[in-house]
Homo-oligomer: A and B are copies of this chain.
């Protein structure tokens, strides 16, 4: 028998859903040696996604999910150069209608309002097929490597592979050069990777719903008897379990990692169809509460499809197990027809269906020894109706990815990894609380009148919905104080059930933010984007487009009017200090070809790796009053011996030729007379606000000292 192959990787990702793929994308951009495995054999049916759906055949596939994208998720995807592809193909939802029973018990439109808060982001909520999203992720990963790709470590998703054991050598977890984790992988055959459940019933929409059982034990058992089972041993620095609600990784970490929460009696069905209906708001997002047949949510999708979430009032667990045979495509459709009557609803084409039981569960621990991490459904589950699952999961690993990557690259202090649980557990708890409240309000029977105490007030429901926009857009995320988020300790959100880890992290309150300097840049929240004008070319840019996810920290210098001599010399003194005192202390970072996603396709990579700290200058002088090369310190236009000066670091807050005025200073809340320095983390969250004057430089220096390793 051949020996079992063994190898080392920096990071092993278990599970290639949105959380796993986002992590792989980050690590591909950072050039970290990574593998990503997935148990599934089922490929998303992307043949259809790329072309024509046959209307005469139900092309059923159990993995044809659709995703709802929050504004923040789109910003994140855009920072990798794939957001615009989602935005172009997805259906954007601008309006939501509330339909409630009128006094006769018939549903009627109660109100129609905006589905988003205007001005928060350049994106709004939108919906797209999972197959497309997976393709964009894989394209994004491929774009990280030179073309034609030659490196041995290019990340590829390895399918039909499961982990069968995981052990941690606890004596070596603090050794940065060690590979303290040992994982055994097993390759499955096509047949083994296909659960019996699926084989027996090709159109069972409940496969992969939370009404289905864990299928990994079955897979292991299936392959157990096989003689030629192919195994592999991997030694890893880090393992991240993105392996869903039945997470094998989590189960392997023991009892401390069990999830807590509760299931409800509410069962909902999901139907993706091309509807044939006279219901007037079918292309709006709708919340329909019928008098006594349950509730229905309409989510218009790309092209002509519509997703319906349908409350199944006639199926109930009654405290025990659910009779899954009652839940069929036909039963779900009949329930929808009942809720939406007297309007007619029919369809010729159904793309997908499933059902789930509403419940919320969250884990206490998101990592073990900062070596094994859990993300996405592996640590928090809830109902899909709020459209948060994919977004929060993806944002878990968006938070974790750069931290892991920069620790592997020996740029970031290893202690910073503790901020993953600190930051993301809080979000998971908020999500669970939101879902708990929202799903009960939506599944409840509408109150007949003010005296009907067991019914749900329709006013309360629509208020709750309207209040939730900031949260559901993902833009309300506000991380707690830590070395990465410099703000007063009293800003810490102390939840009784939340272990605040910040105090364990060294030097956590060393740097101090001066909050009033940039009123709309809140440490711990995402740095917003406004339009600015490139000094060198007069082109308008969203500032986010100059802050791609390439692993670099950004120091944004709001300098005010640099045509004034004193201001110009202050800014140039800052330039000297940066290039002499600060930047040389810290490592450089090799950029990947994917790291300039908004610079077109043909790339010239710099001859020398740039500093881990990227300096951007936003001024308010008249463009014609300043000559960039002549008047500004070279830190604001770095020179490369083969590419010349960099013309892409200095911007003006002024009117564009054809695209209005971004009013960036106003948007960021910076007074041009005063100016400001803002540190933005590699994931786009604000780390520090400091003065443009010398005292601010010291805070900047302190902040980086608490976070980065020196060279």
Contact with B along A114-135 (1 / 0, CB 8 A): 1110110000100011001000
CA distance A479 to B128 in the complex (A): 42
Among residues of B, the one whose C-beta sits closest to the C-beta of A624 is B112
* Interface contact A116-B658, CB-CB below 8 Å: yes
* Interface contact A304-B55, CB-CB below 8 Å: no
Among residues of B, the one whose C-beta sits closest to the C-beta of A51 is B147
* Interface contact B49-A602, CB-CB below 8 Å: yes
CA distance A519 to B274 in the complex (A): 40
* Interface contact B147-A604, CB-CB below 8 Å: no
Contact with B along A267-289 (1 / 0, CB 8 A): 00000001111101011100000
For A538, the chain B residues whose CB sits under 8 A away are: 94-95, 284
For A147, the chain B residues whose CB sits under 8 A away are: 47, 50-52
CA distance A1 to B354 in the complex (A): 64
Main SS class of interface, A: loop
For A433, the chain B residues whose CB sits under 8 A away are: none
CA distance A181 to B400 in the complex (A): 66
Residue in B52, B93, B274, B280 whose beta carbon sits within 8 Å of that of A593 in the complex: B52
CA distance A364 to B119 in the complex (A): 56
Select the stretch in A171-179, A414-422, A627-635, A681-689 that faces chain B: A627-635
Decide yes or no: A94 and B304 within 8 Å by CB, A147-B50, A537-B284 being known contacts. Answer: no
Interface centre among A47, A95, A627 (most CB of B within 10 A): A95
| Those of A150-181 within 8 Å (CB) of chain B | none
For A305, the chain B residues whose CB sits under 8 A away are: 602
Among residues of B, the one whose C-beta sits closest to the C-beta of A596 is B303
* Interface contact A641-B348, CB-CB below 8 Å: yes
For A643, the chain B residues whose CB sits under 8 A away are: 55, 274, 276, 304, 348
Residue A48 CB within 8 A of the other chain: yes
* Interface contact A302-B599, CB-CB below 8 Å: yes
Residue A600 CB within 8 A of the other chain: yes
* Interface contact A349-B642, CB-CB below 8 Å: yes
Q: Sorted from nearest, which 10 A-B pairs have the closest CB atoms? A: A51-B147, A276-B644, A302-B600, A95-B538, A283-B537, A283-B536, A89-B600, A348-B642, A94-B538, A52-B146
21 A-B residue pairings within 8 Å (CB atoms):
A47-B147, A49-B601, A50-B147, A51-B147, A52-B147, A52-B603, A53-B603, A84-B88, A93-B537, A94-B658, A116-B657, A274-B643, A276-B643, A280-B627, A282-B647, A283-B534, A283-B537, A302-B600, A302-B602, A303-B600, A349-B604
